[in-house]
């Protein structure tokens, strides 16, 4: 592959050295494909095959991947859907199903917005399968960030970003204060964009709504302003903006005044080179955390190519880059859960999946209301709650002059037997506790908050 088209797009400019270098060499795939079409005797596949009856008592005469007979006791999926290697970028059918799912999640009206749906289908890539959203974040950050380059993130963020970006890649985080008086701090973000934009040939930003640890989702107004800010900044600094959209908690939104779908769609609609990369997965979205199936989907821009053929070649080149990365790191992702996802969508259907999940969303929604109403009853200047409308968590800020988050969490645990996650990063102005109300029974929430309240009086 000579990457002729990708090199003409702004995407290429944003790649890290690894991103520029990596690709999936033809190698054994070339010979395996040729053998499949041309050979009578195929000795290219690196998995053991045999006649089923030769390794399974009572087995058939079919030529099958060899497997342990005990395995079939644990699942009624076909053995070929469990034990064999899936393709490197993921099973094509599962990838296509997820693309349909992404189109569904756009909430474009199927009658009135046919053109938008058609375009979305055309201009987004077919999702590449990753080992959970974490692996999607890891892959994207590595493909776009060189050591010492900067990525923009709010000061309140999932701690694992720091592991991936700083400790693993050796890149840096340009942090901005997330909130200014309970609103999204767009001025802080703007300063960060201009700061990074003057020293780098691209600006990388990672957004995560509903957010971990705060549960924040932008209001419709804030999100409009955010999209405008990104658009105007791109025009002004004249460098591509890559927006990594971590949609791990996408469906868990509990109020009507906030953005009800991923911000990916609004960014994808922009003509400017604000390039969104959607990172989502079955892990939280379909409540299959250990299934470790995630997806990377890129929103391409209409003005990057002239013909349909260019577009298709570009998509192939992008796939090849990701496949090269996957091959070099994890080789491929769990086959069983890719098959299970496929079955779920094909046999149960999107409506049934949404209906079953609705019950869980309602449970979480009730807990969200309960915990916020309990916290609202505490009138204590030592704490403040960040705006929250979705996800699994909320964040209680503690006055750093009076309480250190780590000490507070320790005290809560020892004296009140309450477990929370303290986040204490005084250099980034963060000092508070994350409460994962997603895992607390609604009836226990008043007790939980009461104990936190009692503990506050002891500091």
Ligand X SMILES: Cc1ncc(COP(=O)(O)O)c(C=O)c1O
Q: Give residues in contact with ligand X (CB under 6 A).
A: 132-134, 158, 208, 212, 246, 248, 281, 283, 289, 294
Which residue number, 5 or 144, has a Cβ lying nearer to ligand X? 144
Nearer to ligand X, 212 or 431 (CB): 212
CA distance to 133, 334, 424, 439, per residue, from 267 (Å): 20, 31, 32, 33
The answer to whether 406 and 363 are in contact (CB under 8 A) is no
Q: CB 24 → ligand X: shortest distance, Å? A: 23
Count of Cβ atoms closer than 10 Å to residue 260 Cβ: 14
Q: What is the largest CA-CA distance in the chain?
A: 80
- The residues with which 152 forms a beta bridge, in sequence order, are 174, 205
Residue whose CB is less far from ligand X, 52 or 246: 246
Return the number of the residue (134 or 388) whose C-beta is nearest ligand X. Answer: 134
Q: Are 146 and 171 spatial neighbours (Cβ–Cβ below 8 Å)? A: yes
CB of 164 to ligand X, least distance (A): 10
Least Å from the CB of residue 281 to ligand X: 4
Cβ nearer to ligand X, comparing 252 with 304 = 252
| Shortest Å, Cβ 131 to ligand X | 8
Least separation in angstroms between residue 260's CB and ligand X is 18
In whole angstroms, the minimum distance from the beta carbon of 212 to ligand X comes to: 4
| Angle in degrees, 0-180, between the axes of helices 186-199 and 220-237, rounded to the nearest 10 | 20
Contacts of 278 (CB under 8 A, 6+ apart): 102, 124, 127, 245, 247, 262, 264, 295, 296, 297, 298, 299
Q: Considering the complex, what minimum distance in angstroms separates the CB of residue 271 from ligand X?
A: 29
Q: Which is nearer to ligand X, 133 or 375 (CB)?
A: 133
Residues 203, 241 contacting (CB under 8 angstroms): yes
Distances in Å between the Cα of 368 and the Cα atoms of 163, 218, 261, 303 are 29, 16, 19, 43
Pure H helices in 344-444 = 350-376, 405-416
Pick between residue 123 and residue 393 the one whose CB is nearest to ligand X: 393
Closest approach of ligand X to the CB of residue 250, in Å: 11
Q: What SS3 class is residue 327?
A: helix
Which CB, 197 or 281, lies closer to ligand X? 281
Show Cβ contacts of residue 240 under 8 Å, excluding neighbours closer than 6 positions.
10, 11, 13, 14, 202, 203, 234, 273, 274, 275
Closer Cβ to ligand X, 168 or 289, answer by number: 289
3-state class (DSSP) for residue 198: helix
Of 355, 344, 353, give the one whose Cα is nearest residue 77: 344
CB of 456 vs ligand X, minimal distance in Å = 26
Specify the residue, 66 or 353, whose C-beta has the smaller distance to ligand X: 353
Pairwise CA distance, residues 69 & 311, whole Å? 45
Nearest distance from residue 392's CB to ligand X, in Å? 8
Task: State in angstroms the smallest separation of the CB of 205 from ligand X.
Answer: 15
* Among 133, 156, 154, CA closest to 394: 156
Query: Which residue in the shown chain puts its C-beta closest to ligand X?
Result: 132
Under DSSP, the state recorded for 56 is S
The token pair at 177 is 């204060």
Give the residue among 269, 320, 314 at the shortest CA–CA distance from 10.
314
Smallest separation, CB 262 to ligand X (Å): 13
Q: Nearer to ligand X by C-beta: 134 or 320?
A: 134
Nearer to ligand X, 286 or 300 (CB): 286
DSSP 354-370: HHHHHHHHHHHHHHHHH
């Amino acid at each position: 592959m000579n990457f002729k088209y990708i090199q003409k797009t702004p995407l290429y400019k944003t790649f890290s050295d690894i991103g520029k270098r990596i690709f999936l060499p033809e190698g054994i795939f070339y010979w395996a494909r040729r053998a499949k079409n041309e050979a009578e005797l195929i000795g290219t596949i690196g998995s053991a095959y045999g006649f089923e009856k030769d390794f399974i008592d009572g087995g058939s005469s079919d030529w099958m991947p060899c497997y342990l007979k005990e395995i079939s006791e644990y699942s009624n999926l076909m053995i070929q859907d469990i034990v064999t290697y899936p393709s490197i970028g993921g099973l094509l059918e599962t990838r296509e199903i997820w693309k349909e799912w992404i189109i569904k999640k756009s909430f474009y009206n199927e009658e009135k917005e046919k053109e938008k749906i058609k375009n979305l289908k055309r201009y987004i890539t077919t999702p590449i399968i990753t080992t959970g959203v974490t692996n999607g974040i890891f892959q994207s950050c590595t493909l776009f960030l060189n050591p010492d380059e900067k990525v923009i993130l709010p000061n309140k963020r999932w701690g694992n970003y720091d592991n991936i970006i700083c400790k693993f890649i050796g890149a840096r985080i340009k942090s901005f204060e997330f909130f200014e008086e309970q609103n999204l701090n767009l001025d802080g973000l703007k300063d960060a964009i201009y700061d990074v934009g003057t020293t780098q040939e691209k600006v990388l930003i990672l957004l995560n709504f509903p957010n971990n640890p705060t549960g924040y989702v932008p209001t419709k107004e804030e999100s409009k302003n955010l999209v405008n800010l990104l658009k105007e900044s791109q025009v002004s600094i004249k460098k591509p903006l890559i927006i990594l959209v971590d949609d791990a908690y996408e469906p868990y939104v509990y109020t009507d005044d906030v953005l009800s779908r991923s911000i990916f769609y609004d960014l994808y609609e922009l003509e400017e080179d604000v390039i969104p990369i959607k990172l989502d997965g079955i892990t939280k979205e379909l409540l299959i955390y250990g299934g470790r199936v995630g997806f990377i989907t890129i929103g391409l821009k209409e003005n990057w190519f002239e013909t349909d053929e260019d577009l298709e070649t570009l998509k192939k080149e992008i796939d090849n880059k990701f496949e090269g990365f996957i091959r070099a790191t994890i080789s491929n992702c769990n086959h069983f859960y890719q098959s299970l996802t496929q079955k779920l969508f094909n046999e149960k259907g999107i409506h049934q999946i949404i209906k079953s999940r609705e019950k869980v969303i309602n449970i979480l929604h009730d807990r969200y209301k309960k915990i916020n109403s309990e916290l609202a009853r505490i009138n204590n200047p030592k704490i403040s709650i960040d705006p929250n409308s979705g996800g699994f968590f909320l964040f209680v800020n503690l006055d750093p002059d009076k309480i250190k988050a780590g000490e507070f969490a320790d005290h809560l645990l020892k004296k009140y037997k309450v477990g929370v996650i303290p986040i204490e990063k005084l250099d980034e102005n963060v000092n508070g506790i994350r409460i994962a109300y997603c895992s607390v029974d609604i009836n226990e929430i008043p007790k939980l908050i009461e104990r936190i309240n009692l503990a506050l009086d002891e500091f």
